[in-house]
Chains A and B, each alone.
Chain A
Amino acid sequence: MDKNLVEMKNISKAFFGVQALDNVSFELSSGEVHALVGENGAGKSTLMKILTGIYQKDSGEVFVDGHKQKLNSVRESMQAGISMIHQELNLVNHLTVAQNIFIGKESEYSSPFYLNDNKINQKAKEICSEIGIDIDPKILVSELTVAKQQMVEIAKALSTDSKIIIMDEPTASLTNEEIKDLFTVIKRLRKQNKGIIYISHKLEELFQIADRVSVMRDGVMVDSFPIDQANEDMIIQKMVGREIKIKPPIFDESQFGDTALAVTNLTSGNLVRDITFSIRYGEIVGFAGLVGAGRSETMKVIFGADQKDSGEIKVNGQVVKINNPYDAVNNGVAYLSEDRKTEGVITTLPIYENISLPKLKDFLDLGFLLNEKKEIKNAEKMIEMLDVRTPSPSQLLQYLSGGNQQKVVVAKWLSSGAKILIFDEPTRGIDVGAKDQIYDLVQELAKDGNAIIVISSEMQEIMRLCNRVLVMAEGRITGELDSKDISQEKIMSLAVNRAN
């Protein structure tokens, strides 16, 4: 850790409606992992997008390796040795790993008139082994897990000989095991004297991987300090400006109502095998397991987004036919997808229209005219409750930060009026403070007599929310834990358990 690889001085950036960055300064040395944290909408992604030439700064200066850089385009930034792994993955699904890694740079490795994949496959293999990841370069990206896709993004970043690698919430959709692999790769990069900027909402990670932490709040750089001078509470304090107390869940079993949803012998493909469980009104049931255990797949079948091969679903004691999500919503079942970008947000619509989408019927005058005032009022209430950072409820979703988009999706389902709610990774990309608010709201919803299923790869989240946990492995339920029994160890041992 010696010289400054990057120096950003007094950077400001305003969008129509928002001052996203206000006089922000930031430094990165070579051989350093520099963590950048802050609440949703604090300006982390924006600052990094300026460094990668996606956005142009309004004022301020950027030095890379001591040279002043304009960074007017992504290409310029790449040539300066900077590359970024974005909050939302940017891979082309129907191309191979190698083709993705060298996209736009093919001509450097083969004749531009006749592309020959051999060379790039070879080269891709080299890059992957250099950082110790094991992926077949000839495989299609769509066949990889999110974690592996993440690795491909890293390989892509390295293919341009970047000295500076920015990772925007790389672990948001990874499991603990996968995160360990990622950290090994990051440590190797650090040894090679690269500079790494690491954005994350999982604060405990910082102590494993970061050398320095910088905290942003409302577009301002609040503080920057070496990690060994910090602890989690202090970081949260600087991020949120207040303390957050984690409250353990309190459940009163006598308050639970009738069985809301009962699933018997549900089977679909390889990832949903013979699933049987039920949930009562008032309960919050967690689904734990490794990625690929079949949790999301199970829920998608229940929700009618995927077809079942066999099995029975009962809602309120009645067998129901759910052939598509439309039927599910009509039966009072809601599903919040883990995939925000493709299945959650409608970026072309304003916040309030996103929120009211599942229950437009509630906003009708005369039975057919939409009452936008009512919609906006409802949205304003949700925006306030979840602390969505936005200039107005009419802001298009595409202009919100990743975490704030997620809050809107959560708001949409919290206010949907559905009695049975399935939340798949509900707090992905949401900051610590807002997470806590969401947990409170979910618990209130359960107290009001709704049945709630939570899928989460964050153990803390499951333990904070649920009165009961089902663990899945390889498409089967491998165990059930009561609130008294829930512990990280027990969940893990069931999650890796082969189904028997």
Chain B
Amino acid sequence: MSNSKQKSINSGLRLKTFLNDWMIVFLFIILFALSCLNPNFRTTTNIMNILRQASFVAIIAMGEFFVILVGHMDMSITSTINIVSIFFAGFVVNNGIPMGPAFLIVLFMSIFIGIINGLLVVYGKVPSFIATLVVMNILKGLSYIYSGGLPISGLPSSFGDLALGKLGVVPYALILMVAVAIILYIFSEHTAVGRSFYAVGGNSEASKLSGINIKFVIILAFVICAILSAIGALGLTSRTLSGNVTLGDNILFDVMTICVLGGTSLSGGKGRVVGVVIGTLFLQVISNIMVILGVNTYLQWVVKGLILIVVVLIDSRSKKE
């Protein structure tokens, strides 16, 4: 092949991967531009609101992203969120433990949950869907036993800053999310361990034979997921200053939609942290505009469901060639 031909082919290739990687960004820009036609949407307050609300969901979705990346699925995030929320509130409100230590305790709880999930999958050889479903139910049981199913309110108002506080116009939540995203971006795309997540998700057998400790990688994915779920849970809890055993109940669907929207392959090995962040914003803007337009909650579910289907269809069609 001649050199110039090779060059043009190279740039064609680059354009294609570029479009693939960034399609969601273009879609998001279009969506955002259209939404801005509505005067109620384009206010600074509303947009900061969207960013604030998206932040904690994005953090949780980034957790799930790592599990999907290694070719598994974590169904237990809903219950992890619930149990962290209720125990944290319980520790602080009922037992008078200061927030710092209480945070550390729930953090360790989440790490423990992640390890259990990982061990069941890696050593128990239980399909992750089942393993995490079981863990989900156990956690659910535990959090109801602990709280009797009632919310625990009365967290100190300073805790509310996590969700509601601002630096100038910029919400703390957004700053936290961006920081987490940057760390995870570097981790996933520019470190050796991060690279092995992609390898294991792409072909675990080949990765194993390349000397990658795949058991460690899979357990680590579940631990990261659980930790990020816990952080997200605290953020969501701080909005109402109360722990709640149903806090995360509806989040799994959104998180899955976000990951797929962001270009994560459900069979593993493909996807980017940046995609997850954009995916979250995308979904949040759609929810927000639907609220502004007065679409009722149930119809919103339908719309979100359709979005997920459309994205999955586009994804599987583009994979054919």
Interface of A toward B, CB cutoff 8 Å: 15-19, 55, 218, 303, 305, 324-326, 328-330, 334-335, 337, 342-349, 353, 357-358, 360-361, 363-364, 368-370, 372, 391-392, 394-395, 412
What is the chain A residue whose CB lies nearest that of B1?
Answer: A218
Which positions 147-163 of chain B face chain A at CB distance < 8 Å?
Answer: none
Using Cβ atoms and an 8 Å threshold, which residues of chain A touch B209?
303, 305, 325, 335, 337, 343-344
A305-B208, A329-B210, A348-B198 known; A16-B12 Cβ under 8 A: yes
Determine whether the beta carbon of B16 is less than 8 Å from that of A16: yes
Instruction: Kindly specify which of B40-48, B110-118, B199-207, B235-243 makes contact with the partner chain.
Output: B199-207
| A346 touches which of B10, B16, B269 (Cβ 8 Å) | B269
Q: Which of B10, B16, B209, B269 has the most chain A CB within a 10 Å cutoff?
A: B209
A17-B16, A326-B211 known; A369-B190 Cβ under 8 A: yes
Determine whether the beta carbon of A358 is less than 8 Å from that of B205: no
* Cα–Cα, bound, A395→B10 (Å): 10
* Cα–Cα, bound, A334→B213 (Å): 15
| A342 touches which of B186, B199, B203, B211 (Cβ 8 Å) | B203
The SS class assigned to the A binding surface is mixed
* Cα–Cα, bound, A454→B291 (Å): 66
Q: Does B4 contact A (CB under 8 A)?
A: no
Using Cβ atoms and an 8 Å threshold, which residues of chain B touch A218?
1
Using Cβ atoms and an 8 Å threshold, which residues of chain A touch B212?
326, 357
Not counting A326-B211, A335-B209, A360-B195, a sample of 5 additional A-B residue pairs whose C-beta atoms are within 8 angstroms of each other reads: A218-B1, A342-B206, A345-B206, A348-B265, A357-B196
* Cα–Cα, bound, A361→B195 (Å): 11
Q: Does B302 contact A (CB under 8 A)?
A: no
Quick one: CB contact mask for B229-261 with A, threshold 8 Å, 1 for yes? 000000000000000000000000000000000
* Cα–Cα, bound, A330→B213 (Å): 11
Determine whether the beta carbon of A391 is less than 8 Å from that of B10: yes
Q: Does B95 contact A (CB under 8 A)?
A: no
| A18 touches which of B9, B203, B268 (Cβ 8 Å) | B9
Q: Which of B16, B199, B265 has the most chain A CB within a 10 Å cutoff?
A: B199
Quick one: CB contact mask for B4-15 with A, threshold 8 Å, 1 for yes? 001001101100
Measured CB to CB, the closest approach of chain B to A410, in angstroms, equals 13
Using Cβ atoms and an 8 Å threshold, which residues of chain A touch B207?
346, 357
Determine whether the beta carbon of B10 is less than 8 Å from that of A325: no
Using Cβ atoms and an 8 Å threshold, which residues of chain B touch A328?
211
Measured CB to CB, the closest approach of chain A to B15, in angstroms, equals 8
Determine whether the beta carbon of B269 is less than 8 Å from that of A349: yes
| A364 touches which of B9, B192, B268 (Cβ 8 Å) | B192
Using Cβ atoms and an 8 Å threshold, which residues of chain A touch B205?
342-343
* Cα–Cα, bound, A19→B210 (Å): 32
